[in-house]
Amino acid sequence: MAAPSAATLPDCRPLLADPDDLTLVFQPVVDLAGARVAGYEALSRFPGTAGPDVWFAAAADLGLAAELEALAIAKALAAVPRLPEDTFLTVNVSPHLLGSGPVQDALDRRRDLSCVVIELTEHAPAGDLDLVRCLSDQLRARGALVALDDAGAGYAGLQAMTVLRPQLVKLDRALVSGVDTDPVRSALAELVGEFAGRIDAWLLAEGVETAGELATFARLGVPLAQGWLLGRPAPGFAPLAPEVTRLVRAQVERGRRTDSVAGLVRPIRRCDAGEPAGAPPAVLLGRLGEPVGLLLADPRTGETYTAPVSLRVHPSAGVPEVLHRALTRPPAHRFEPVLCTDPTGAVVGLLRVEDLAAARP
């Protein structure tokens, strides 16, 4: 489809003068293992029939892209206090606008970003990745998570994943549509998921529209999904419909290839990093409650030491998959416990490599 000409683009200047004309809707992001809403994506809606892409293109044509994006960001952040408990809000940000004054001002309206996921919606040119990483790290320091859109869409996407190290990776829709009938798409989705796991990120399948696609991603161990099958964008933070909850549970159960690690999770004590930790094992938490290290004891000497969190997994992950990932870590960390966290990053417990090995089918 040809891009609209400048003459047919809507004029965004009246909208910037009257911000109430820009409204938001929220689409649920579903934790497949728990059959519950893990978060919502904030999506902009504009007057008339033109879609958001057309409006943002019109703003760019007038040199007002940062101003319009800042308006959408500010409105999304204003909705954070209304979020249901234990959910996050995904806010879309264009990487090339992340450092602009209007966008930075909008992000500064909420200093605490602990329930916010900043979704980088397009891949920045390679020369800008270091700057985007620096700006993203500043947002992470305020509690935000960082997501990367369209993962798997070529080398540039993989390069961005490597440099930006997002905590959430959205699978490119081209790999989601028809994944249940196309072995190549399924294999590529699995590879992206493996890559995401290596950089300690959650994989999210966006655009799930059929029960077959849902079952495939459940079988692959993808923890998060989003799409019209699971919930359409709505003006408020809607829960999953009962029939959708039943569908998710049925398809996840049907799609699982192996027993999950959920039954092997051991409780672990939590303590603040920098405080006296007591006896191991314990997970060390940062200022915003994020896991930053493990307090462990050397099994040979009994000496206590601190290790990085070298591997995090979701409770729904399969035993063989987690064992394989644990044993392919660098030798110094190969036999250290695996941390189990939910999609929001909250600590669920600890997995011992010995337990994984004993439970392997």
What is the rounded CA–CA span in Å between residue 236 and residue 257? 36
Q: pLDDT tens digits for 189-223?
A: 888 887 887 788 889 999 999 988 998 888 788 89
| pLDDT of residue 5 exceeding 50 | no
So what's the pLDDT on residue 1? 41
Instruction: Decide if 344 contacts 114 (C-beta within 8 A).
Output: no
Please tell me which residue, 209 or 256, carries the higher pLDDT value: 209
Categorize the per-residue pLDDT at 76 as very low, low, confident or very high, splitting at 50, 70 and 90. Answer: very high
DSSP 118-162: EEE-SPPPGGGHHHHHHHHHHHHHTT-EEEEEEETSSHHHHHHHH
Least confident of 55-64, 89-98, 155-164: 155-164
Domains (range + CATH), the chain: 9-254 (3.20.20.450), 261-359 (3.10.580.10)
DSSP state for residue 239 in the 8-state scheme: P
What strand order describes the sheet that includes 347-351?
312-313, 338-341, 347-351
Task: Summarize the chain as % helix, strand, coil (round to 5).
Answer: 40, 25, 40
Amino acid at 231: G
Amino acid at 349: G
Categorize the per-residue pLDDT at 241 as very low, low, confident or very high, splitting at 50, 70 and 90. Answer: very high
Residue closest to 342 by CA, chosen among 236, 217, 229, 202: 202
Phi first, then psi: give them for residue 24, nearest 5 degrees: -120, 150
Instruction: Decide if 333 contacts 321 (C-beta within 8 A).
Output: no
What is the rounded CA–CA span in Å between residue 196 and residue 337? 19
Q: pLDDT tens digits for 51-74?
A: 898 999 999 999 999 999 999 999
